[in-house]
Structure 1
Amino acid sequence: MVRCPRILLILAVAGLSGAAHAQTEPAPALPVGTVTAQKKPIDRPLDFVGRVEAVSRVEVRARVTGFLDAVLFKEGDPVQAGAPLYSIEPDLFEAAVQEAEGALQRSQAAQTLAAIQLQRAQELVDRSAGTVVARDQARAALDQSKGAVTGDEASLRTAQINLGYTKITSPIAGRIGRTSVTKGNVVGPDSGVLTTIVSQDPMYVTFPVSQREFLRAQESKANLDRSRIAVRIRFPDGSVYGEVGRVDFVNISVDRTTDTVLVRASMPNPAGTLRDGQLVQVALQTGTPEEKVVVPQAALIADQGGVYVFVVEDGRAVVRRVKPASGGSGTDAVIEEGLSGGELVIVDGLQRVRPGVLVRATPATTLSSRT
């Protein structure tokens, strides 16, 4: 009976020892998905804000005054060069042509008569039956009649040109805007712009480049052929235009108000996607890639101190401050500083990761879903 308390004491001590041992067991490692930071050749684009401009832009105006007979196009449609656009009442202009033709016929007849009279006067002089004065007068009359013919020919040509101006046609191929006049109105040189036509393919994209960026490009790409620079554009909704353009012009002077150099690129526009005056994002790719460390965008975390990622070192999550490059490469982020390549970067399970916590790394592609 004396031994029972001693046995109970031993059992109690053993129980406390087991509880203490259970409390000191390490927490289970968190499962996380990782990728290896890799070095890749990156052709990092230079980004600018640009505006689409038509290569050709024509403001259609009336060149003669008259009543508008017809509007021969549908607003907003594509038109071909030479397509009829407007018709001005031609009656007065046709009459002017006929009048000029009659005047020319009269002057031509007078020229014929003057030529005959000169011939006769010369024959009389040759037979000593006429005077030299009469012959010279006949020659002067012929010269005058020739001048009258020339003037009447010009008048007829002017009347024919004016008649042709009653049919207003498209000088270029492109897309036509809305009309500012309708049938029945009087139009003329003082009527202003009747409509506007802009060419469609190709299109220009112009964008200003700051002096600093321009000088930096000159220093680092001194021997770079500008025609080899690939130009891509992105629309305000984030979508990327499928065609690639080329730089074809750099302005010869710097804009004094903005301290920028205007650069222009030519962009194919076979489907008519680009429109004159459109605002776009411009990305220049030089075609000379540099080795850069690349990680998924999902690995980046931002706080008041900047941007960082979690990497796995000795089975624990460790914070690495990084400096991402502006832009990126699709779903990847280009890292300028903070990673050297080869690190295991955590991309899945970041919600529960804390600095120093034990982690169990698994390649991110093998996880069924992100936690």
Structure 2
Amino acid sequence: MRWLVALLLALAQPGYADPLVFEGRIEASERAVLSSRLNGVVAEILFNGGERVSAGQPLIRLDPTDAALALEISEARLAASRARYDGATRRTARQEEMHERGITTDSTLGAARTEMAMVEAELALAEAERRRAVLDLERVVIRAPISGLISPPSVSIGAFLEAEAAPPLATIVAFDPAVAAYRAPYAERLDSLEATGSRTVVELLERIRVRLRLPGDRVYPGEATPHAASAEVDAETGTVTVWAKFPNPDALLRSGMIVTVLSDIHGAEAEQ
């Protein structure tokens, strides 16, 4: 990462005390769309929007009538399949015994075995259908896929949702950690990490410290180390986008916020 080398060299110049300054923007570390995987009518909405939600928290309940009925039907079919399986098992065992005694023919035994295989497949299908029905009944409750701040709901009670065509029901934005994205110059002429005494890019990254200045000149209480950079250099600006994660337990940093990024080198004074 040559821009990192350039940054460290600049910071290592004698008398250099001020950090490099960049304009940055806060981004969500994770974003999820709330959706339904089941057709159904919205019976209850359990959030207003703007509040924090936790992963797995119930947010919307659909009318469970159809899903509950489907489960009852699948259980009845499973019971019938098990009964047929038990009967086929007894008949096949009897034919096996009679065949060993020479009482029945190979074709009769073969037919019994074929019936047994078909009944086994039918039972496996009935068991799978019941598992699917149980899963659908669980999906009547739509839960938060991640923790974060949730937007207002985009549906209302009584709305019919189609799993394949329903619009997003809400958006959840993870707020802790928050990600600061900023553009830094990429020094094309510097190609050696040895200039900073760092043996690897990982070691180089570990030495960079990034702080934030919020609107109103308030310095955010915390610092971070860059964890990623864009793979390509912007042809017009000669910069790469850099990302750094900041702890944000109080959700002070919000997605879209413009911040000033202050970047310096940890322990630089000791090397000067």
TM-score, length basis structure 2: 0.85
What residue number does 2:82 align with?
108
SS of equivalent residue, structure 2 residue 137: helix
Distance in 1 between residues matched to 2:189 and 2:59, nearest whole Å: 45
| 42 and 255 in structure 1: CA distance in 2 versus 1, 3 angstrom threshold | closer
| 154 and 177 in structure 1: CA distance in 2 versus 1, 3 angstrom threshold | same
| 160 and 212 in structure 1: CA distance in 2 versus 1, 3 angstrom threshold | same
| Structure whose residues are more often strand by fraction | 1
SS of equivalent residue, structure 2 residue 104: coil
| 153 and 90 in structure 1: CA distance in 2 versus 1, 3 angstrom threshold | same
What residue number does 1:145 align with?
119
| 164 and 110 in structure 1: CA distance in 2 versus 1, 3 angstrom threshold | same
- Structure 2 letter corresponding to 1:159: A
Question: Any stretches of 5+ residues in structure 1 without a counterpart?
Answer: 1-39, 293-371
Question: Any stretches of 5+ residues in structure 2 without a counterpart?
Answer: 1-13
The alpha carbon displacement at 1:197 in A equals 1.0
Identity over aligned pairs, percent: 30
What residue number does 1:276 align with?
255
Distance in 2 between residues matched to 1:186 and 1:193, nearest whole Å: 13
User: After TM superposition, which residue ranges in structure 1, 4 or more long, deviate above 4 angstroms?
Assistant: 213-220
The alpha carbon displacement at 1:222 in A equals 5.7
Question: Are residues 1:98 and 2:77 paired?
Answer: no
SS of equivalent residue, structure 2 residue 251: coil
What residue number does 1:46 align with?
20
Question: Are residues 1:135 and 2:109 paired?
Answer: yes
- Structure 2 letter corresponding to 1:75: G
Q: Aligned residue pairs: how many?
A: 253
What residue number does 1:187 align with?
161
Distance in 2 between residues matched to 1:202 and 1:217, nearest whole Å: 32
What residue number does 2:43 align with?
69
**Deviation digits for residues 202-234 of structure 1, max 9, x if unmatched?**
111111222248959968536262122111111
The 5 A counterparts of 1:210-249 are 210-212=185-187, 215=190, 221=196, 223=198, 225-249=204-228
Distance in 2 between residues matched to 1:129 and 1:277, nearest whole Å: 83
Distance in 2 between residues matched to 1:195 and 1:259, nearest whole Å: 38
Residue number among 237, 247, 250 corresponding to 2:229 in the alignment? 250
The alignment yields a C-alpha RMSD, in angstroms, of 2.5
Of 54-63 and 140-149, more deviation after overlay is shown by 54-63
Distance in 1 between residues matched to 2:67 and 2:176, nearest whole Å: 37
- Structure 1 letter corresponding to 2:253: L
Contact 2:50–2:152 (Cα < 8 Å) also in 1: yes
Distance in 2 between residues matched to 1:247 and 1:56, nearest whole Å: 17
| 213 and 199 in structure 1: CA distance in 2 versus 1, 3 angstrom threshold | farther
Distance in 1 between residues matched to 2:65 and 2:15, nearest whole Å: 72
Identify the structure with bigger relative contact order (alpha carbons < 8 Å, sequence gap 6+): 2
The 5 A counterparts of 1:1-371 are 42-189=16-163, 190-212=165-187, 215=190, 221=196, 223=198, 225-256=204-235, 258-287=237-266, 288-289=268-269
**Deviation digits for residues 214-265 of structure 1, max 9, x if unmatched?**
9599685362621221111112332221211221112333244653212111
Distance in 1 between residues matched to 2:40 and 2:189, nearest whole Å: 53
Contact 2:213–2:220 (Cα < 8 Å) also in 1: yes
Contact 2:210–2:244 (Cα < 8 Å) also in 1: yes
| 217 and 275 in structure 1: CA distance in 2 versus 1, 3 angstrom threshold | farther
- Structure 2 letter corresponding to 1:242: P
